[in-house]
Structure 1
């Protein structure tokens, strides 16, 4: 925001991704930290449902936003002459609003299914936070087939989105390869950073939701990885792989340092 030449569509979408990442990495973290220091780890039903709501809201929004970012890179590299026309400010805002809308509709559909179930038996969730595959197993009725269909939908959406993103980045990288120049090298670095983020986010997500009722020892680690560590690392990945952002950050820090190093001397009144 403080650097005018970083107000392009790519950085606008990136800033919104950072906001979602901050939300996603903090929706369950305070409760997890509290549980580390308490012997009795409990959560209310309302609190559990809230965690499911925010988890699917932020992950659904991030999936659509990552697709929007890949579309932005595709237009910038494959159709550079039409970039300013296609990726206007109105289109960028529309992509962000669409991301949040899809995320909200997705999480509402998941909660509508969950809240319709009767809960009266077991009440132990074998994870660091509440997630749909674990919570619906506590229902008092046999929901295996229906639950598989409902939860696997999230896995299929994640898998299809990942394949779509993979295809778009392959097309972009092939286009970059055919144009070897300094600009192409910069575009390659940017797309590589984007793909690293996509891989870190979608890998654990697909693994957990495609096989929802199969318990693997690594499930807990993966659930924490894609909800906390990956969103936390995303801004670092983008920053460390982007020379323009690094330059802007260094200039900002230098100005702050210089301003802190100056002290105004006030003379006593004569």
Structure 2
């Protein structure tokens, strides 16, 4: 029963904090703050989406509710931040910028753009084909120097590196190399193609802490966790029931 009440208290507290955050951001948006200022002040993630479309929207924010708010006439006119929009288990805010209404181009105006797109697609396909051909010829470290292309050494990287894009990081850690070998992977990118060569992926197997240090750390974590759970439980009781808690006895029981 106590565990259930503690869980309810934590969930109630989480929802309360979340609701306060949403209200705070909505207030800032209503006051005319830019989305950059809001993100910095409220410490929330800011993401930019280029070429956000009303029709055929394939972005991560393709939900009809988001599109409707983003393309609201007054929102576009004022370049304002929308009120919070519920998406799945979260909430998003959108601020349109550089809005360009869809227009039908004449053939003469559309031809250069179509030609550019087709050339880019062809160049990307050729680059990817070449990258895959190079990757197929790399099985060992010695094979790297035999290639006709020069590869840049990035040294040892991890999953948090900023030297690679999100897509490249996912590619780099998608396949394990053979013992004493390397793995070469090629993928299409916005600029053409990328080729990554890596050796075996290392995982941390051995804890840097001694047995005594691990035991002490576990004890500290248990103590802190127990104290947090107890406090959440007490907060929940205060919110739901009219109770009186003897703080002096609580302090003595906790050894303070």
- TM-score bracket for the superposition, by shorter chain length: under 0.3
Greater Cα radius of gyration, structure 1 or 2: 2
TM-score (norm 1): 0.26
TM-score (norm 2): 0.27
Q: Which structure has more RCO (C-alpha within 8 Å, separation ≥ 6)?
A: 1
More strand by share: 2
